[in-house]
Chains A and B, each alone.
Chain A
Amino acid sequence: MPGTLSWEASRRRAYLTGLVPALVVLAVITVVPTLFLAGASLTPLSLVDPASLFDFSNPLRNYAELLHDPRFLGSLVMQLQLSALTVTLQLAVGLGLALLLNVRSSFFEAIRTVFLIPMVLPPIVVALIWKIIYTPDVSPLHRFLDFVGLPADSFITSASTALLAVAVADTWQWFPFTMLMILATLQMIPNEPLEAAKIDGANHWQTFRYIIFAYIRPALIVSGLFRLIDSFKAFPLIYVLTDGGPGSATEVTNYYAFVQAFNFSYWGYASAIAIVLLTGVFTLSWAAGRLGWNGDEGE
């Protein structure tokens, strides 16, 4: 049947016309820059020495230097602390609120939307909101602390509390994500096992531990991984609240790469840090894929 064949061929051609431009553009704006980044990470490229873009004489120098750079190693520790703190807080708050809000009534439906507001605000506005909260002159928090007789200095100007202050702001912004994911899962739990548990005389805690928790565990893990991946990209909060300080108390790895690239213009060195970050993020994404987040393999 020559007719069918040519229809198949023209259909394939039509499909290619639709697909190829997007793939080409996406490759140009993502794959090419990543390859460039990998290349640049092997050179001593900087503002004062732009010609060194092709200087591959000692390709691993940046990576060797990273291993002995106390500021970089410190930034990794800071990153791990911040990530652990924010992910834990967000999972705890998100889970708690999801369990509390899992009631079918119009009041609770409406209030759920209210709880989503922090997450949809532009990150820079969140940073601004918390800048206000941590600035004693205009802060409702400091007014309250003065009122109850516990005046305090700004939490972002002290090295011992700055990281926690950033983590609290980040949690405020992102707990709705976990809450939303868990609420969606809670609403899919069938009634039968819950009723069976009730008949068998299970108490609230047992019902939660053995039935509800089993259902929401995957959602918890996936939200945790999502937030963990995102926590490596934290920027606006740190930029606006602490600028990495005081000292380097909140200088996480992403921020250190930014400082090296755009304050000091050590592009080669910054590229090496970015490659380290990229590797970390992709490893975690891969783990997320394995643990039940269907990229595409679910079909």
Chain B
Amino acid sequence: MTDITDIIRFRSGNAPLALRWPTQRFLVRVGLHVLVAVLALMVLLPFLWLVQMSLRPEDEIFSDAVLFTPTLENYRALWQGNFAGSFLNSLAVSSLSTGLSLLLGVPAAYVLTRWRFKGRARVALWILTTRMAPPIAFTIPFFLAYRVLGLQDTVWGLALIYMTFNLSIVIWFMQTFFAAIPESLEEAAWIDGCGVWRAFWLVTLPLAAPGLAATAVFCFIFSWSDFFYALILTRTNAMTAPVAIVNFLQYEGWEWGKIAASGTLVMLPVLIFTLLVRKYFVHGLTAGGLKD
């Protein structure tokens, strides 16, 4: 039989606790949320500052007023100048390099996944190492070769040097996606009389479509974001948007509104695309991943 004092002790002993603990934990939780929100705002401030600058009217760039009437004047001025051309160059180079890298890299990734030949690991490792090389090591030979080949300041030339990183990205990413698709599906297609590449086209590739899309987006982002190669290998014809930003900074005086607008325009496609491939992010950054 339960003693009544036990119940009383139970209640009086625990009631304050039950009251105290949730409040304290609640406060800690609220504090944590506030802290994290403030930190996020601090981290984002430099980025937001750029965006708001791009929307300020010219005569208010240096003003301290927090409130202003946003205008797209800077963007309009930008679009009427040479920036539109460099933006289109960026689009062309990034698309071309992404397309070529997928064309060559996707079949190669498939073969590396399915065909266990001798030296396979060595080939795969070599492909990965090419990504670690500092760009300056490729730039000097490419710069000299392009002078001779007439590829300097051309969209094709730039797209080709972007393949030094894009090809290895494609081959590495696609290997993991292909490995996740059961071989038995292809074997069934082979028995039905399909050749290797027909089975690949009809069975494997459609199943790997989401991975293919993510890979394409990564290639595009990396090409789009490049500054170093474009700075050295282009002048006027094939100048990309990142180089155009620097030209604004260096030669056209301090038109901060236009400069900020150009920066905002360059990062916009990247931010949108990144949202699309958020799921593959960790994977994309390490290209091989951590050991389990």
Cβ < 8 Å to A, chain B residues 97-137: 104-105, 107-108, 110-112, 114-115, 117, 121, 123-125, 127-130, 132-137
CB of B96 within 8 Å of the partner chain? no
Q: When the two chains form their complex, are residues B134 and A278 in contact, meaning their CB atoms are under 8 A apart?
A: yes
**Residue total for B at the interface (Cβ-Cβ under 8 A):** 91
CB-CB under 8 A from A296, the residues of chain B are: 121, 124-125, 128, 288
User: Nearest A residue to B51 by beta-carbon distance?
Assistant: A129
User: Nearest B residue to A291 by beta-carbon distance?
Assistant: B291
Q: When the two chains form their complex, are residues A125 and B291 in contact, meaning their CB atoms are under 8 A apart?
A: no
Q: When the two chains form their complex, are residues A232 and B242 in contact, meaning their CB atoms are under 8 A apart?
A: no
Stretch at the interface among B6-14, B67-75, B162-170: B162-170
Main secondary structure of the interface of A (DSSP, over half): helix
User: Nearest B residue to A120 by beta-carbon distance?
Assistant: B274
Q: When the two chains form their complex, are residues A19 and B112 in contact, meaning their CB atoms are under 8 A apart?
A: yes
CB of A205 within 8 Å of the partner chain? no
The number of inter-chain residue pairs (CB within 8 angstroms) is 253
User: Nearest A residue to B222 by beta-carbon distance?
Assistant: A122
Q: When the two chains form their complex, are residues A274 and B137 in contact, meaning their CB atoms are under 8 A apart?
A: yes
Cβ < 8 Å to A, chain B residues 167-196: 167-168, 171, 190, 195-196
User: Nearest B residue to A131 by beta-carbon distance?
Assistant: B249
Q: When the two chains form their complex, are residues A181 and B43 in contact, meaning their CB atoms are under 8 A apart?
A: no
Q: When the two chains form their complex, are residues B44 and A114 in contact, meaning their CB atoms are under 8 A apart?
A: yes
Q: When the two chains form their complex, are residues A226 and B135 in contact, meaning their CB atoms are under 8 A apart?
A: no
Q: How large is the interface on A (under 10, 10 to 19, 20 to 34, 35 or more residues)?
A: 35 or more
Q: When the two chains form their complex, are residues A132 and B133 in contact, meaning their CB atoms are under 8 A apart?
A: no
Cβ < 8 Å to B, chain A residues 25-42: 25-26, 29-30, 32-34, 36-37, 40
Query: What separation, in Å, do the CA atoms of A219 and B33 have in the docked complex?
Result: 26
CB-CB under 8 A from A233, the residues of chain B are: 134-136
CB of B1 within 8 Å of the partner chain? no
Sampled A-B contacts (29; CB under 8 Å): A10-B196, A15-B114, A15-B115, A19-B112, A19-B115, A21-B104, A21-B108, A22-B104, A22-B167, A26-B127, A29-B160, A115-B40, A124-B263, A125-B267, A128-B260, A128-B263, A129-B50, A140-B45, A140-B49, A143-B64, A184-B290, A218-B290, A235-B135, A239-B231, A261-B140, A270-B140, A271-B140, A278-B133, A297-B125
New contact pairs (8) apart from A14-B195, A117-B44, CB-CB < 8 Å: A23-B123, A29-B138, A36-B141, A125-B245, A140-B45, A218-B291, A270-B136, A296-B121
